[in-house]
Every structure is written in C-alpha cells, then in structure tokens.
Amino acid sequence: MQAIEKFPLSCVRLLPGPFWHAQQKDMEATRLNLAMPAPKEFSLNVRHPAWIPAGKLTVRINGEPQAVSSLPGTYLLIRRLWQDGDEVEVGLPMRMQVEFLPGHSAWAAFVYWPIVLAAKAGESDMPDLRAGEASNTQMAKGPLYSRASAPVVLSWAGESPEDLPKPIPGRPLTFRLEGLGSPEESMRSLVLQPFHTIHDARYIIYWRVAVPGDYDAIFAALKEEEDAAMHLDAHTLDAIQLGEQQPEADHNFLRDGADFSFDGHTWRRVADWMAFDLRDPAGAATRLRISYAGTEIAGSFDVFIDGLEILTVPEGSPAKTGPHIADYPLPNMAPPDAGALRKFRIDTHNGTCTDAMYEIRLMK
C-alpha cells in the first residue's frame, strides 16, 4: 500500500517497489506519473484534505474520471494493476472561506483554502523591524495603530462574507476588497494576497465582521475599549498571560502542580506553587492585579515577592463567580537588587487549589 499525504512538486522512490513517481503541481491539481519496470498491483491512498468538501475532490486515471466516495480528512483508496506510464490527476479545488477566532468572536480571517490571506496596511513607523537573538526581541517596536481606525468587513443580509472578495484578473490568489466594508476609501486601497508573500510591512489578517447598521456602534465600542486598554497599559509595569507558552517563557515561569486549560482564554490553576518574574526597575509597584476565571474552586494562597511573604489571599476570596479582577495593595518596596526583575512565587495552603487565573499584572 502506498499513500500520498502531501502535494508538492517532487520525485520520490517508493519502497519496497522499484518504481518512481513525480508530482507535477499547478494551482488546483496534482499529477502523479508512475515509472515502473513491470506492472504491479497495489493500493494507492490519496489524502482527501479536510478543506475540500465531500463530493468536490476529483481523481482521473489516464484521463478517465474515477468515482470518489471519500470524506474530508480521510483517504481515497485506489487499488488496481498499475502500469508504466500511468498518470493520476487529483483535483484540489480551492475556495474562499471566513475563519472566525474561537470563543464566538466577531473577528475573522479570509482563507482561500488552504492559503491564509492578508492585506498590506502600510510600511511606515516600523523601527527595529528585524528580530534579535533574545526572546524579547521578536516583537517589532513600532507604534500600535488603533483598531478603531481599521476597516470593518460588512456582510449584507443573505450574503456571506466569503462571497464578497472579488478575484483580480491576471493576478492569481489576489482579491479586491472594494465595496466589502467601511471606511470605503480604505477598502478600495487594500488587496487580499497570500499571507506568506507579505514581508517588511504592516498587515491585516483578522477583520471585524458586522452588518452595515452596526458600524457606528462598533467604532464607538472599539474606541472606548482601546482608551481603557491604553489607560491600563500606562499604569502597568509588567504582566504575564498564564498558560501561554511565549509569555511564560519570557517571564521565567516555573511551577509544580499548576495545570492549565483553555475556555476561550488560557489560564492556570495552582495546587502547589508557581513562580515567575515581573519587571519593576524603579520599585514603583503599588498593587498586584489578578484576573480570575471565577470557578467554584478558590483555595487560599500566599504571594511572595523576592523571597518575602507579601500577602495572603484567603479561601473563597474574592467571592465571585464568572470572570473578574481583584487588586491587591503592595507595601513600598525598594528597587529589585537583581536588575529590573522581581521574583514572584504563589504557594497554596494544605494542597488546596486556587481559582483559575488568566493574567497577573504588576501595576504602579
């Protein structure tokens, strides 16, 4: 039995048989040419990609259409006596689809399966574009642009967003966004193209999707949300998003008995201890803010900073269900001895388990 998993341009010797096949790929088809010293019967499994709906995958052998009964994410089995020079052509029809972020989000990306599309959004204000060797240099240092000024994709009644981008003649895999959203002048200048072809530029992958009558309200809500976020950022010294690999690595996260999960947001719940570093170069921290999931479990725990027990959070505190935030005052502390980092540790009491925590933020 042989299987075709990928569809690149290739020339591969299939063992244990003394024959070769070459895949010649164009935009929406792969042709498999067999070169064999003698006829041989075997089964060929062709992967049916999950992004191709049932009934849309096509297969021809030596130009003759074949019956295809496979389902997305499975394999089409072809068993026959294969001859030297046989050709198998697999049709891989591409289609536009809108992929929303998890958690019932209103933000979505356009995917011309299997290719993620994005739009260039300018090349200004991009200092320090190249990442350095340290883990904290992987983010560009340019100023953030407001989401409230970003274009909004508008979907009309009876019309799906994926039906709206229009192919640009003579430019494969590019699509016009004109007439797709608001503000119209921004949409007129933007072109969807494969994300992997965008370099050294700002870009948009995820778009806010709405119906036309909601645009003004969405704009106002985004502006209010961003103003609140900017105010929070101005009063934040450092923060760690728990359960996320890169933020935890950047903050030297360690733990024992601190599990994590995902319910639209990542979180950690501590049954023993966890430790991490947060920046406080001038010793300006005045409070510790913890964002909780608000589960039924909320065991007590101690918070240590630079080896000193700073506060105790009693069992069941804060007594709230559902996502919420709690601020804990901190005593005056001298700047940390070891550079700009303070070492935090959370220890639970008698094996109890804390509430699930989304984020811990050190504030001034």
Which residue ranges make up each domain of the chain? 2-91, 96-234, 236-363
pLDDT value at residue 186: 66
pLDDT along the chain (364 residues), means of 10: 58 58 73 84 89 93 94 93 90 88 87 92 78 65 75 65 80 84 71 94 89 80 87 93 92 84 79 94 94 84 94 78 90 83 92 90 96
Q: Do domains 2-91 and 236-363 have the same CATH topology?
A: no
Annotate 252-293 with DSSP letters as a single string: T-EEEEEEEEESSSEEEEEEEEEEEEEE-TTS---EEEEEE-
Domain 2-91: give its CATH code: 2.60.40.1180
> In 3D, which of 50, 29, 59 has the Cα closest to residue 97?
50
pLDDT value at residue 212: 76
pLDDT value at residue 18: 46
- The fold of the 236-363 domain, in CATH, is Jelly Rolls (2.60.120)
pLDDT value at residue 157: 47
* 103 backbone φψ class: left, alpha, beta (φ>0; ψ -120 to 50): left
pLDDT value at residue 190: 87
∠ CA 261-267-270, rounded to 5°: 95
